[in-house]
Amino acid sequence: MTTTAMTPRERMLLAKDASRQVGLLTDVQKRDALRRIAEAVLAATAEIVAANAEDLERGRSTGLSIALQDRLRLDSDRVAALADAVRDVADLPDPVGRILDERTLGNGVRLQKVSVPFGVVGSIYEARPNVTVDIAALALRSGNAVVLRGGSAAEMTNAALVRAMRGALADEGIDPEAIQTVDDFGREGARELMNARGIVDVLVPRGSAQLIETVVTESSVPVIETGAGVVHIVLDETARLDWARDITVNAKVQRPSVCNAVETVLVVRSAANRLVGPVVAALQGAGVTVHGDETVAGLADAIVPADESDWSTEYMSLDIAVRVVDDLDAAMAHIRRYSTHHTESIITEDAAHAERFLAEVDSAVVMANASTRFTDGGEFGFGAEVGISTQKLHARGPMGLAELTSTKWLARGDGQVRA
């Protein structure tokens, strides 16, 4: 299926029209549609991978960073994982129509607060073709149409994915305009999407801090802000060496280009002699470049001297900043100053320290004795995620189906009038 409307606004209006049908689909119809999408994506693997190869080649020739190339890359295994994620979303409970509150007024009017779709969900993102599928699946499962702006780096890949998904909807008798893209309009498409208030109900940006800031400041459509990930791990004086080493390496190395990868490790001074050397050695053994303060440099070899900018850097690469702090209070003060309020973790065997850290640190996800890589919609059981919200209104943390619904009140009376 192709998109024939000639302007971004026309396409978004088509999505708005389609949202009325999608919002009335039954649980079974939405499940069937998503399963058909998963089949269509798998069937189009060769086309998708070929399109992705074109995007990657163009990205390499234009200097796209290694981190963004990793996010952009799709092979047959990653396409299969996208299809699996769609099936996982299909199997989740329908978030629409949940009764969230109910009561009967003194005059007999019966009230129910129920969950309803937003209508049209927009997303602007960079070099992340998985987001094309994840957001479309989550939007449809929650009864919404979707308008996508995936960026020029992944334009060919996204076009192939959108074609497959729109064709699947048509096969199910669902208006394919419920999945819409404005990629081919470039920056003008993004500007139109950001200013489609009254057509697009909510906009979710995913990408660099610069992209997110642009969307937040320039959009007239309500925005759910997903933040950059200057993520911290604190190693306190009771941290087990094996936990400190294994969790830190996993949080940095497993996939360094993503927003839940750790960027800064803070070591409490009384544990520095015991922990810094082995943890740094393990990181370096995994290919990580360690940027450290003077104390770290005195306890480990091959340390790149850290400066002030390192504490606020989201490297998205095999780089990490390590700093020795006086105590837990100093660690939390550092986090308050430099964190983007995404994810923070403490490694400790002191239960009081763990509970204090969990209570006092003001981030979307706060952990004790676990890798920050678990901040993820799939890991949290959402099937996939729209993004990880670092704001406090409406949604915070990994956003799944429930976060793509709003509410309305239903009132049922028997002729009552207000006195």
Domain span(s) for CATH 3.40.605.10 in the chain: 8-224+386-412
Residue 261's nearest CA partner among 292, 288, 221 is: 288
Question: For 355-385, what is each residue's pLDDT tens digit?
Answer: 999 999 999 999 999 999 999 887 887 767 7
Q: What is the pLDDT of residue 275?
A: 98
| pLDDT of 5 strictly over 70 | no
| pLDDT of 158 strictly over 60 | yes
Domain span(s) for CATH 3.40.309.10 in the chain: 231-374
Share of the chain above pLDDT 90, in %: 83
**Mean pLDDT to the nearest integer, 296-319:** 96
Q: Distance between CA 221 and CA 219 in Å, rounded? A: 5
The answer to whether 22 and 174 have CB atoms below 8 angstroms apart is: yes
Half-sphere exposure of 390 (CA within 13 A, CB side): 22
Question: For 64-115, what is each residue's pLDDT tens digit?
Answer: 888 788 889 999 999 999 999 999 999 999 999 999 999 999 999 999 999 9
Q: What is the pLDDT of residue 397?
A: 85
Question: For 20-40, what is each residue's pLDDT tens digit?
Answer: 999 999 999 999 999 999 999
Q: Distance between CA 154 and CA 209 in Å, rounded? A: 19
Looking at domain 8-224+386-412, its CATH superfamily turns out to be Aldehyde Dehydrogenase; Chain A, domain 1 (3.40.605.10)
Q: What is the pLDDT of residue 290?
A: 98
Q: What is the DSSP string of 228-263?
A: ---EEEEE-TT--HHHHHHHHHHHHHS-TTSTTSEE
3-class SS at 386? coil
| pLDDT of 400 strictly over 60 | yes
Q: What is the pLDDT of residue 4?
A: 58
CATH code reported for the domain at 231-374 = 3.40.309.10
Q: What is the length of the chain? A: 419
| pLDDT of 265 strictly over 90 | yes
Q: What is the DSSP string of 72-104?
A: H---HHHHHHHHHHHHHHHTSPP-TT-EEEEEE
Paired with 200 in beta bridges are 197
Joined tokens for residue 156:
């060919």
**Mean pLDDT to the nearest integer, 396-406:** 87
Question: For 273-305, what is each residue's pLDDT tens digit?
Answer: 999 999 999 999 999 999 999 999 999 999 999
Q: What is the pLDDT of residue 1?
A: 47
The answer to whether 110 and 413 have CB atoms below 8 angstroms apart is: yes
Question: For 190-249, what is each residue's pLDDT tens digit?
Answer: 999 999 999 999 999 987 778 888 999 999 999 988 877 899 999 999 999 999 999 999
Q: Which residues contact 28 (CB under 8 A, 6 or more apart)?
A: none
Joined tokens for residue 354:
């763990």
